Amino acid sequence: MTDSVTRTRQNHALIVAAGQGERSGLGLPKQYALVQGLPMVRHSAASFLNHPKIAKLWIVIREGQDEQLHNALVGLRSYEVVIGGATRQDSVRNGLSGIAAAGGAKNVLIHDAARPFLSQLVIDRLLATVEQEEAAIPVLPTIDTTINIVDGYAASTLDRNALWRVQTPQTFDYDKLVYAHAIWPAGHEATDDAQVFKAAGYQIAVVEGDEALKKYTTASDFAESSEQNMKQIRTGMGFDVHQLVTGEELWLGGLKIDHHKGLSGHSDADVLLHALTDALLGAAGAGDIGDHFPPSDPKWRGASSDKFVEFAASVIKQKGGSINNVDMTVICEAPKIKPHREAMRQNIAKMLDLSIDRVSVKATTTENLGFTGRGEGIAAQAVATISME
């Protein structure tokens, strides 16, 4: 099998976006309604397209929605479109058939467009699990007291420890899911693909879900999203410099780069991640990297700087905030940053649990002027934009 064919048969994602969204009361299919400033379907599409282990994205839409989808996803790279059926189950079958016609897949992730905020971490958990299992689904515990209702009255209280909320994407061995749908009884509508898969006798593993993966169904869900858009927008800036010396490793953006010199300084001296940490802490009004990780403390000697970035992100989360995007610039004559830029973006996106289209890494020189121009050191600057209550 050639590399291209092998890649084609790896992990495919299928977004079901063929519904009419009648319960939303929005006057248009809810998958195209704006959620935090973007069409809802765009959020999860970008998450899949930016994940390095997703080989191809398929989107199932209602007939006549081609232009709406194109407008919603303008600027995103290639994806395949399939026309859905009368029911969700029919739409999934049509999507699976489209994948089959293109050569099949190893695993397929089935996702509802109505769950826009899909993180890279959830995809990672699912893909790691299906390396060993036939299927994996994200779940969350049932927190509220749960009861049976009989004839309009509260009956028995159920054991909520045995009840779990199921989310998407649900991830399956592709061939087995195709078979499960083929033998599912005609005329019976399943609530999700896990039900179909389980009925065929297969096992389904579970992974931790994400509260952000809530399903948008009614007008109140979209109203809540609009209120969230009214959060305070804050911007933080970070700048850092480290000296280039012989005998040190060169770490930039969480990536070890081969170079005849490395950076000397705090921890692993990753100047880009240090600037990013300061930008995040600054946006949250939480001091700077030296306040939380003083260079005088020997326990930080040689430490991996991704710990600092993840700490800064956790500070923002604890304050009720979320990171919108980060933009960074590396300033040096050498090494060349462009060959490593995408790997740096992927590293940082994973540290911050962001889709990669919210992470920008750029590089520039000082035209042989100053300490960076003479190759004596590397500088970096970063800007972070966050939303806070």
Per-residue pLDDT reduced to its tens digit, 190-219: 989 999 999 999 999 999 999 989 998 877
Map residue 323 onto helix, strand or coil.
strand
Return the higher-pLDDT residue of 38 and 329.
329
Q: Which of 31, 49, 28, 48 is nearest to 40 (CA)?
A: 31
Return the higher-pLDDT residue of 321 and 209.
209
Return the higher-pLDDT residue of 158 and 12.
12
Cα separation values, 73 from 78, 79, 137, 360, Å = 10, 10, 26, 19
Q: Is residue 229 predicted with pLDDT exceeding 90? A: no
- The pLDDT of 159-187, averaged and rounded, is 94
Q: Is residue 315 predicted with pLDDT exceeding 70? A: yes
Q: How confident is the model at residue 228 (pLDDT cuts 50, 70, 90)?
A: low
Predicted TM-score of the model (pTM): 0.61
Residues 122 and 369: their CA atoms lie apart, in Å, by 45
Q: Is residue 5 predicted with pLDDT exceeding 60? A: no
- The pLDDT of 358-376, averaged and rounded, is 95
CA dihedral sign, ordered 255, 261, 267, 272? negative
Residue whose structure tokens are 């050498």: 334
Residues 212 and 252: their CA atoms lie apart, in Å, by 30
Residues 223 and 152: their CA atoms lie apart, in Å, by 30
321-332 residues labelled b (16+ CB within 10 A) or e (exposed) = bbbbebbbbbbb
Q: How confident is the model at residue 116 (pLDDT cuts 50, 70, 90)?
A: very high
- The pLDDT of 24-41, averaged and rounded, is 79
Return the higher-pLDDT residue of 226 and 47.
47
Q: What is the pLDDT of residues 144-168, one digit of tens each?
A: 888 888 888 888 888 888 889 999 9
Predicted pLDDT of residue 4: 42
Instruction: Quickly count: other Cβ atoms within 10 Å of residue 194's Cβ.
Output: 24
Q: Is residue 2 predicted with pLDDT exceeding 70? A: no
Map residue 71 onto helix, strand or coil.
helix
Q: Is residue 105 predicted with pLDDT exceeding 70? A: yes
Highest mean pLDDT among 63-77, 117-131, 218-232, 314-328: 117-131
Q: Is residue 226 predicted with pLDDT exceeding 70? A: no
Predicted pLDDT of residue 24: 46
- The pLDDT of 8-30, averaged and rounded, is 76
Return the higher-pLDDT residue of 227 and 340.
340
Q: Please give the share of the chain, as a percent, with pLDDT higher than 70.
A: 93
Q: What mean pLDDT value characterizes the chain?
A: 90
Instruction: Quickly count: other Cβ atoms within 10 Å of residue 204's Cβ.
Output: 18
Q: What is the pLDDT of residues 269-288, one digit of tens each?
A: 999 999 999 999 999 999 99
Q: Is residue 121 predicted with pLDDT exceeding 70? A: yes
Predicted pLDDT of residue 3: 44
